[in-house]
Structure 1
Amino acid sequence: MQFNPFALALAVSVVFSVSDANAGELVGPGVISTGLQETSAAVSPDGNTLYFMRSDFAEKDDTILVSHRREGRWSTPEVVAFSGEWHDSEPAMAPDGKRLYFVSNRPAHPGEAPVTAEMGGQHFPGSHLWYVEQQADGCWGRPVHVDGSHNDGAMIYNPSVAANGDIYFSAHREDSGKLYQIYVARRTTAGYAAPQRVDLGDTDHNRMDPSVDPEQRYLVYAGNEGDSLGSADIYIAFRQSDGRWGKPIHLPGEVNSASLENAPSIGRRFGELYVSSNREDDTHFPKPKDVLSSLQQRLEGPLNGSRNLWLFDISDVLKEHGIEH
């Protein structure tokens, strides 16, 4: 997303379980979470298959990978069959597990040019919304382009799908202000309606990477509401009785740190929350004298400042707001 002794001890202690409600777990250290960039967890209904994105530090080369948990251990990830050729990123599993959504710069129709986006005079790989559907043999079918105005501007990121098919995502659109905001495209019998901005307050704050509860009772996202510990933290908003979203709450405990936290994803068990973070091992000087092998091992490990996948338990926060399952 290899260890020095401290990092190895940490990985062993947290790799399979969360010991208390607020402790974080590094997901698959050295296998899923590595010295590269790993973000955007998408978990199968049984919790034993994990899709995620791996990229270079500049995030110019994004690819979707999959790992399977067998006897308590994650398998060596493989590139999914539908990825590896285009700039594919941010997988998101539908609640029933029958569709896997993602965004990509692949052309919407064969023979067309790759999708590009423009912002502030800069051009870069754009993104449209796609999905693959589970076939009778359990494999994923061919990618399907999700038509609709949500693709306008070619900057749709981090989709998240509710049980009724509504899709939440982050984007920069005409009503976003200068920053990114969160939108929802409602599913209708005629396709997807025009996106509506999710009202979480004024647009002076950056809001990205939504993950919505299947029943749309709460929404987690990455941003900075003015009280972030780092450049971006994870927030939660609860739907009120009148249907509107309540004031965003900065998630307590160890979910947030002085490092970057983003790309939250609600897990399959109650209270599970996957988060991408570039938190790293502390270095104190004088340090134990390195030789080349120990230096390489530490610098290439998952706690080298790259983004990795972490797992947290936010069940206490949910229960405090009347959500029990």
Structure 2
Amino acid sequence: MKISLLFLLAIIVASCSNTNKPVTGPYLGENLPGNEPQLFAPGFVNDGIATRDITFTPDGNEVYFCKNIGNSRYATILYCKNTENGWTKPEVVSFARDSRYIYIEPCISPDGKKLFFVSNMEQEIDENNRFITDIWVADRSEDKWGTPYKLDTVINSPDPEFFPTVAANGNLYFTREDPTTRANTIYKSTFKNGTYQKPIPMPEEINCGRARFNTTIATDESFMIIPSIGMSDSYGGTDYYISFFNETKGWSIPQNMGEKVNSPTTFQYSASFSPDGKFMFFMSTKANALASGNLDYKTLYKMHNTPESGNSNIYWIDASFIDTLKQKATFIEN
């Protein structure tokens, strides 16, 4: 039986907090994190369903994030909005409800005028059962998003493109997958005179490791976060690395961001920042919702519907630790 996104939404809403007390305050009323990561908005954003890819409008009053079921067979973008009556409960965005397609990796431009995301709309699953995804965008019109449209062939090729990330000057960074080798390459497209220029591959400091994908650019392009696998100092899974840009030296050698955001035998591959850059949000598959004693059905059911059960969750942390990493940046000598 085919599951519809409306059914997915029903599961999501049912799994969220059932309290009638309104959620108020910035960041869905959460206490701000310090130097240690915290699960973001448990019971509201994180609810046991696999959750990743979070982005905010510049005023912080709207948050968008992705949920997926069945290894992303059903995946869509939800949002919550801060109103005079408190934060609304998660709702699927209007253009992301067709269960034939996936809608993932939302990214709101720093000026709040564009919502980029990835979808396989207008595509078919190829012979290798892969989704051929493209980068789409919706423009802001007053307080709503317009009808999404696919970026042209300067950005979207016959190969899969995914995870758009945008700098304040409009420059677009994204990942493209080679259809033969399945290797992922990070590209940059300069935004000039209102037009995206031909993308160019980023240097080896960014295209590092055995595989890399889903990079996140700082709004001022001063650093980039790179989820990478196969690095010599990996914690064991996909880790977040960071590279800093210097006008004369170029990009620094990728540096493991450390145990604050990376964990052994887990996956980390989706990062973003609060609109003011003070907080880093990141996805991880930590499994901290562990049982003690004998297992029974009730315990298993509760674990399955609890954050940190092994599905992906979104965490946040004070981003000031990046300043310490910058002090350790090293560069390849020319």
Q: Same fold (TM over 0.5)?
A: yes
- Structure 1 residue identity aligned to 2:131: P
Contact preservation (8 Å) 1:117, 1:155: no
Residue 179 of structure 1 is matched in structure 2 by 183
TM-score (norm. length: structure 2) = 0.80
The structural deviation recorded for 1:321 is: 3.0
Structure 2 unpaired stretches of 5+:
1-11, 17-28, 328-334
- Which of 112, 120, 128 is residue 105 of structure 1 equivalent to? 120
Residue 11 of structure 1 is matched in structure 2 by none
Residue 276 of structure 1 is matched in structure 2 by 283
The structural deviation recorded for 1:70 is: 6.3
Matched length: 297
Structure 2 matches for 1:31-110, cutoff 5 A?
31-69=44-82, 75-85=88-98, 86-107=101-122
**1:211 aligns to 2:216 (yes or no):** yes
**1:162 aligns to 2:162 (yes or no):** no
Residue 198 of structure 1 is matched in structure 2 by 202
> Using the alignment, how far apart are the partners of 1:320 and 1:149 within structure 2?
35
Contact preservation (8 Å) 2:289, 2:306: no
Higher relative contact order (CA 8 A, sep 6+): 1
Structure 2 matches for 1:292-307, cutoff 5 A?
292-307=297-312
Q: Quickly say closer, same or farther: Cα 1:264–1:71, change in 2 above 3 A.
A: farther
The structural deviation recorded for 1:243 is: 6.4
> Using the alignment, how far apart are the partners of 1:180 and 1:281 within structure 2?
31
- Alpha-carbon RMSD across the aligned residues, in angstroms, is 2.7
- Structure 2 residue identity aligned to 1:183: Y
> Using the alignment, how far apart are the partners of 1:275 and 1:68 within structure 2?
20
The structural deviation recorded for 1:184 is: 0.8
Q: Quickly say closer, same or farther: Cα 1:62–1:235, change in 2 above 3 A.
A: same
- 1:66-87 superposed Cα distances (whole Å, 9 cap, x missing partner): 0235699754210011111132
> Using the alignment, how far apart are the partners of 1:242 and 1:117 within structure 2?
44
> Using the alignment, how far apart are the partners of 1:16 and 1:73 within structure 2?
13
> Using the alignment, how far apart are the partners of 1:73 and 1:290 within structure 2?
38
Q: For 1:149, what is the secondary structure of its paired residue? A: coil
The structural deviation recorded for 1:132 is: 0.8
Q: Quickly say closer, same or farther: Cα 1:190–1:49, change in 2 above 3 A.
A: closer
Residue 272 of structure 2 is matched in structure 1 by 265
> Using the alignment, how far apart are the partners of 1:73 and 1:222 within structure 2?
35
- 1:9-42 superposed Cα distances (whole Å, 9 cap, x missing partner): xxxxxx8235532x11111212211222111111
- Structure 1 residue identity aligned to 2:108: M
> Using the alignment, how far apart are the partners of 1:307 and 1:71 within structure 2?
31
- Structure 2 residue identity aligned to 1:302: P
Residue 112 of structure 1 is matched in structure 2 by none
Contact preservation (8 Å) 2:131, 2:160: no
Residue 4 of structure 2 is matched in structure 1 by none
The structural deviation recorded for 1:289 is: 4.0
- 1:180-227 superposed Cα distances (whole Å, 9 cap, x missing partner): 121111122372222111113466521111111111111112112332
- Structure 1 residue identity aligned to 2:197: A
- Structure 2 residue identity aligned to 1:189: N
Q: Quickly say closer, same or farther: Cα 1:72–1:227, change in 2 above 3 A.
A: farther
TM-score (norm. length: structure 1) = 0.82
Q: Quickly say closer, same or farther: Cα 1:299–1:73, change in 2 above 3 A.
A: farther
Structure 1 unpaired stretches of 5+:
4-14, 108-114
Q: For 1:151, what is the secondary structure of its paired residue? A: coil
Runs (4 or more) in structure 1 with deviation over 4 Å come to 69-74
The structural deviation recorded for 1:269 is: 3.1
Deviates more, 1:237-246 or 1:84-93: 237-246
Residue 16 of structure 1 is matched in structure 2 by 30
- Structure 2 residue identity aligned to 1:179: A
> Using the alignment, how far apart are the partners of 2:46 and 2:30 within structure 1?
13
> Using the alignment, how far apart are the partners of 1:209 and 1:260 within structure 2?
12
Q: Quickly say closer, same or farther: Cα 1:126–1:320, change in 2 above 3 A.
A: closer
